[in-house]
């Protein structure tokens, strides 16, 4: 005699579907609400770190501001950002930098790495 198939609810399949849905919704929520700077590096607190930039050597930070000056040199460029009404920082942009064209008075976020002299060197840039 043939046996009948079970007609009950498959608990394992239901539980794995619920876990998958929860993970999918959680990652979508994180992706939508994450920081929009485009960089995972922490933002530089210029007011706190201005006196000890040399101690930041090797650190990666993001710096956001308005480009107010750009000097072209033999070794690359030096961009000056206005962070706050009375705070400015210069960033070294080395030769071979694959970033975008920079226009004065536009807002940018730079991913920088501080060299051994405590000067920020651009790694990447995005326009805000």
Does residue 1 belong to any structural domain of this protein?
no
Residues 80, 57, 95, 67, Cα dihedral to 10°: -20
**Alpha-carbon gap, residue 91 to 93, rounded angstroms:** 6
Give the number of domains in the chain: 1
Residue 75: count of CB within 10 angstroms of its CB? 10
Does residue 60 belong to any structural domain of this protein?
yes
Max Cα–Cα distance, the chain, nearest Å: 90
CATH of the domain at 87: 2.40.50.140
- 78: containing domain: 46-127
Using pLDDT thresholds of 50, 70 and 90, give the confidence band for residue 90.
very high
Using pLDDT thresholds of 50, 70 and 90, give the confidence band for residue 89.
very high
**Can you give the pLDDT at residue 20?**
94
Does residue 35 belong to any structural domain of this protein?
no
CB 76 within 8 A of CB 88: no
């Amino acid at each position: 005699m043939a046996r009948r198939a079970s007609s009950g609810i498959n608990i394992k399949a239901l539980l794995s579907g619920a876990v998958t849905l929860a993970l999918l919704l959680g990652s979508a929520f994180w992706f939508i609400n994450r920081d929009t700077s485009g960089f995972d590096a922490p933002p530089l607190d210029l007011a706190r770190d201005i006196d000890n930039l040399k101690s930041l050597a090797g650190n990666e930070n993001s710096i956001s501001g308005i480009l107010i000056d750009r000097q072209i040199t033999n070794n690359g460029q030096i961009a000056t950002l206005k962070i706050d009404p009375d705070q400015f920082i210069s960033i070294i942009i080395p030769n071979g930098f694959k970033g975008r064209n920079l226009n004065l008075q536009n807002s940018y976020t730079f991913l920088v790495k501080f060299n051994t002299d405590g000067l920020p060197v651009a790694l990447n840039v995005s326009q805000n």
